[in-house]
């Protein structure tokens, strides 16, 4: 019989509602192997924000672990095994990934086609929903405050900043990347997850966070009043 989580009344770190809460792992515990690492972050979360997001959590894990982003850590390998079992159990999940899959050439370092590989398009909305929830949890851990629901959270890869217009790149370098350089990364679960968090100006609403999942998937989040 599954052990029920003990609830207590408090403020949800994700949505800010007051009521019964349980401890929610940041990032989701489904990304890790068992036994769970002892150094995982947890925050109080309501039932909707905790259990209600499990479908997106599973999709996020499957999307990463079926790609090269899973890394070579124990948790990455376990996540990959979980992803395979998830697809074996669920016809809907298999069909969802299959309809977005395509064959692509795998090239050697000198550009020669070595073989064909499988690539797939992921649902960015579902992936970003998980990342935004992780960001809200980190914001709560770092500030002991709930990020207001109306604050926008952008999710990007570092490469997207390199591809933007020069004036935008300069702005992002100053306001997003530079504040993070002096911040020491917090590392969890055998380096399966790490992050840096900064508020460039304490008088403004802007927060930035750099995260790396499975030691291989980096993302940058920028939050502020919409």
Q: For 156-169, write each residue's pLDDT tens digit.
A: 887 676 677 777 77
CB 140 within 8 A of CB 43: yes
pLDDT of residue 2: 44
pLDDT of residue 196: 96
Q: Does 128 map to a domain? A: no
Is the domain of 87 the same as that of 13? yes
Give the whole-angstrom CA distance, residue 45 versus residue 69.
28
104-134 tens-digit pLDDT:
666 666 667 776 666 667 788 989 999 999 9
Is the domain of 91 the same as that of 35? yes
Give the whole-angstrom CA distance, residue 83 versus residue 80.
5
Is the domain of 115 the same as that of 150? no
pLDDT of residue 37: 83
Is the domain of 18 the same as that of 96? yes
Number of H helices, E strands in the chain: 8, 10
Give the whole-angstrom CA distance, residue 79 versus residue 76.
5
Is the domain of 14 the same as that of 106? yes
Is the domain of 153 the same as that of 210? yes
Nearest to 189 by CA among 83, 79, 49: 79
Is the domain of 14 the same as that of 94? yes
Question: For residue 198, what are the domain limits?
Answer: 145-225
Is the domain of 104 the same as that of 188? no
Extract the tokens encoding 96: 């969802």
Give the whole-angstrom CA distance, residue 214 versus residue 44.
24
Q: For the chain, 226 residues long, give each residue's pLDDT as a single digit of tens.
A: 445 567 789 999 999 999 999 999 999 888 887 788 888 899 999 999 987 677 888 888 877 776 654 445 555 565 556 666 666 676 776 677 677 666 666 666 666 777 666 666 778 898 999 999 999 999 999 999 999 999 999 998 876 766 777 777 777 777 777 888 889 999 998 888 999 999 877 667 889 999 998 877 889 999 988 6
pLDDT of residue 1: 42
Q: Please report, for residues 29, 89, 112, the alpha-carbon distance to residue 39 in angstroms, rounded to integers and kept in the order given.
A: 12, 30, 44
Give the whole-angstrom CA distance, residue 168 versus residue 54.
36
Domain boundary among 120, 137, 165: 120
Domain boundary among 58, 85, 120: 120
Q: How many domains does the chain have?
A: 2
pTM: 0.79
Is the domain of 114 the same as that of 184? no
Is the domain of 99 the same as that of 198? no
Extract the tokens encoding 151: 């604050």
Is the domain of 15 the same as that of 114? yes
Is the domain of 179 the same as that of 115? no
Q: Does 51 map to a domain? A: yes
Extract the tokens encoding 15: 């949505």
Domain boundary among 104, 120, 136: 120
Q: Does 136 map to a domain? A: no
């Amino acid at each position: 019989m599954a052990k029920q989580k003990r609830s207590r009344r408090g403020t949800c770190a994700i949505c800010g509602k007051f009521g019964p809460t349980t401890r929610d792992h940041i990032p989701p515990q489904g990304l890790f192997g068992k036994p769970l690492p002892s150094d995982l972050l947890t925050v109080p979360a309501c039932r909707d924000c905790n259990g209600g997001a499990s479908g997106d959590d599973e999709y996020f894990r499957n999307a990463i672990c079926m790609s090269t982003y899973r890394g070579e850590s124990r948790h990455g390998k376990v996540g990959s095994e979980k992803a395979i079992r998830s697809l074996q159990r669920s016809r809907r999940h298999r069909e969802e990934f299959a309809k977005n899959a395509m064959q692509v050439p795998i090239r050697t370092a000198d550009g020669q086609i070595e073989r064909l590989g499988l690539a797939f398009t992921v649902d960015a909305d579902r992936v970003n929903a998980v990342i935004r929830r992780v960001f809200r949890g980190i914001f709560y851990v770092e500030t002991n405050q709930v990020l207001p629901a109306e604050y926008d959270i952008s999710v990007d890869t570092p490469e997207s900043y390199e591809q933007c217009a020069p004036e935008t790149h300069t702005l992002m370098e100053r306001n997003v990347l530079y504040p993070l350089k002096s911040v020491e990364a917090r590392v969890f679960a055998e380096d399966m997850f790490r992050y840096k968090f900064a508020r460039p100006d304490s008088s403004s609403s802007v927060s930035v966070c750099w995260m790396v999942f499975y030691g291989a998937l980096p993302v940058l989040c920028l939050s502020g009043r919409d």
